[in-house]
Structure formats: C-alpha cells, structure tokens
C-alpha cells in the first residue's frame, strides 16, 4: 500500500511528498476510506490529451484523469495530472501554483472516495470538499 509520485516529460512539482501523503490518508479517513496503492503521474497537456482520447474517447485537455481501482473501502488508482493545465488554472483563478497542485491532488482522492462533480450541484460540493481538505493541509505545510 503506497502513494507514489512520478513525472512523464515534466519536472516533478516541488511538493512535500511525506506531508502530502499523510494528508491524503487523513482526507480519505474522513470519508471512511483507507488508502491502498495510489500512483500520481504528473505530465504535460499533450500526454493528458493522449490519455483522454485513448481511454475516455474525449478530445479535449483536462487537468486530471483518475483511473479508479477502488475495492470496498480501500481506495486505489492511477491519477494523471497535467501541470500545464494546473498552471493555467492557477493563473486564471489567481491562486498560487502550489495550492492549485494540492487542490488537484486531493480532487483525485475525492473522486476515489466516491465524490462526483458532473451532475447538478456536484461541482459545488466537490469544491467545498476540496476547500475543507486544503484547510487541513495549510497549517501543516
């Protein structure tokens, strides 16, 4: 059972991996879940578009794609994050880049915990849960 961080064609972001991994476990625990194997793969826009086309038949860029391997209350998955889009989002929303990285990291975990963001009202609920999770992280980083 491990949380791993790797990069494909980009530099790994400057996150405090031990602290972030502990935070991920805490957030999962708040949702009555345990963390199994979670692999974060940081990449560029071209790679995320390729994955989106190949596996989801979507022809557009996105900030995150989460492959869910959850079994029972143990969350596992592969989470691809486009650092290009995260950077664009931080500029668009006027938020620090590292905060936006943390937001998208926990967004993937929240998906694995069963929280959706596509239906009516779900986007707002997801943002609220992201904000709650970020409030837990901020005092410890």
Number of domains in the chain: 1
Instruction: State which H helix or E strand residue 111 sits in.
Output: helix 97-112
Residue 24: band (very low, low, confident or very high) from pLDDT cuts 50, 70, 90: very high
**Residues near 34 by Cβ (< 8 Å), separated by ≥ 6?**
1, 28, 73, 74, 75
Distance linking the first and last C-alpha atoms of the chain: 24
Strands 74-82 and 34-43: parallel
Range of the domain at 51: 3-140
List beta partners, residue 64. 81
CATH number at residue 7: 3.40.390.30
Measured CA to CA, the distance from residue 56 to residue 38 in angstroms comes to 20
**What percent of the chain has pLDDT above 70?**
98
pLDDT of residue 138: 76
Q: What is the pLDDT of residue 14?
A: 93
Mean pLDDT of 38-43: 98
């Amino acid at each position: 059972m491990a949380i791993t961080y790797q990069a494909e064609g980009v530099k790994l972001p400057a996150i405090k991996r031990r602290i972030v991994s502990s935070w991920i476990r805490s957030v999962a625990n708040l949702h009555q879940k345990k963390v199994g194997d979670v692999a974060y793969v940081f990449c560029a826009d071209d790679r995320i578009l390729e994955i989106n086309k190949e596996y989801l038949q979507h022809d557009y860029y996105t900030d995150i794609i989460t492959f869910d391997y959850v079994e029972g209350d143990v969350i596992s998955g592969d989470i691809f994050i486009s650092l290009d889009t995260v950077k664009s989002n931080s500029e668009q929303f006027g938020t620090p880049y590292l905060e936006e990285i943390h937001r998208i990291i926990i967004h993937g975990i929240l998906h694995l915990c069963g929280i959706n963001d596509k239906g009516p009202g779900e986007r707002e609920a997801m943002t609220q849960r992201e904000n709650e999770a970020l409030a837990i992280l901020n005092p410890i980083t």
